[in-house]
């Protein structure tokens, strides 16, 4: 834990937030498993506190095969406010499409495949991000609204994408969880980048959550 992390979030608050993230992504995975017949292997989430200028470098390092990935982005806002990024490898998006609709032979429609892949990513992203962020907000007594999901396919350089509008003297709380769809090549990460505006509210909401529990 670096100096910024110590100043912005205590060890106890971090542990509470990790447990909330764990519960919320578990709920999101279950919601998706109702929609498509898969099992999502969950992992232990992590929290990082970063200065805004370090965010782009951090994300690029985390997404090691960043020249070959697809990202679903959705912003959310309530008292809990930020940016959700669901990152899939390019292989994942193709396999995801076959999971969503195995009846059709996509090989006969070469041109629209990119569109279909994009739609399948948006659908899965919408479910995972919506259920996860929604559950976090619910557990912290908040309600959030979302922008429509946006898909960024691998052709766009990540540098141009990681351009968040944040104040330079602020800090970002970043929640990260990795996932893998069992018996497939589909894997990825979910990043929740919590806005600096939410930090004070978040600290008090975490304390209230523990008092209620």
The residues that touch another protein, with contacts defined as CB under 8 A, are 15-16, 18-19, 22-27, 29-30, 33-34, 39-40, 42-44, 139, 210, 213
**Quick one: 145 or 183, whose CB is closer to another protein?**
183
Least gap, CB of 8 to another protein (angstroms): 18
What minimum distance in Å lies between the beta carbon of 115 and another protein? 29
Phi, psi of 54 (to 5 degrees): -90, -10
Buried residues in 71-84 as b, exposed as e (16+ CB within 10 A): bbbbbbebbbbbbb
Choice between 1 and 113, CB closer to another protein: 1
The nearer residue to another protein, 41 or 114, going by C-beta atoms, is 41
Nearer to another protein, 46 or 106 (CB): 46
Rounded Cα distance between 94 and 88, Å, is 10
Residue 179: how many CA atoms within 13 Å on its side-chain side? 25
Q: Least distance in Å: CB of 39 to another protein? A: 4
Please state the closest distance from residue 139 (CB atom) to another protein, in A. 7
Rounded to the nearest whole angstrom, what is the least distance from the CB of residue 43 to another protein in the complex? 7
Pairing status of strand 82-89 against strand 46-50: unpaired
Task: Sort strands 150-152 and 82-89 into parallel, antiparallel or unpaired.
Answer: unpaired
Residue 153 burial (CB count, 10 A) = 14
Q: How far is CA 117 from the centre of its chain?
A: 18
Closer CB to another protein, residue 33 or residue 116? 33
């Amino acid at each position: 834990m670096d100096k910024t992390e110590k100043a912005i979030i205590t060890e106890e608050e971090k542990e509470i937030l990790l447990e909330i993230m764990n519960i919320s992504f578990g709920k999101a995975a279950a919601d998706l498993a109702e929609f498509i017949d898969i099992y999502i292997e969950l992992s232990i989430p992590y929290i990082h506190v970063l200065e805004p200028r370090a965010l782009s470098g951090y994300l690029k390092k985390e997404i090691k095969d960043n020249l070959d990935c697809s990202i679903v982005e959705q912003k959310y806002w309530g008292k809990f406010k930020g940016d959700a990024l669901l990152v899939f490898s390019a292989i994942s998006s193709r396999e995801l499409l076959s999971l969503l609709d195995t009846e059709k032979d996509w090989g006969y429609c070469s041109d629209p495949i990119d569109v279909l892949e994009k739609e399948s990513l948006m659908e899965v992203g919408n479910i995972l991000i919506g259920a996860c962020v929604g559950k976090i907000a619910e557990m912290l007594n908040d309600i959030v609204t979302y922008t429509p999901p946006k898909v960024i396919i691998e052709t766009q350089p990540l540098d141009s994408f990681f351009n968040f509008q944040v104040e330079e003297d602020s800090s970002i709380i970043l929640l990260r969880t990795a996932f893998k769809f069992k018996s497939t090549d589909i894997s990825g990460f979910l990043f929740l980048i919590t806005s600096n505006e939410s930090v004070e509210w978040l600290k008090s909401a975490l304390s209230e959550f523990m008092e209620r529990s």
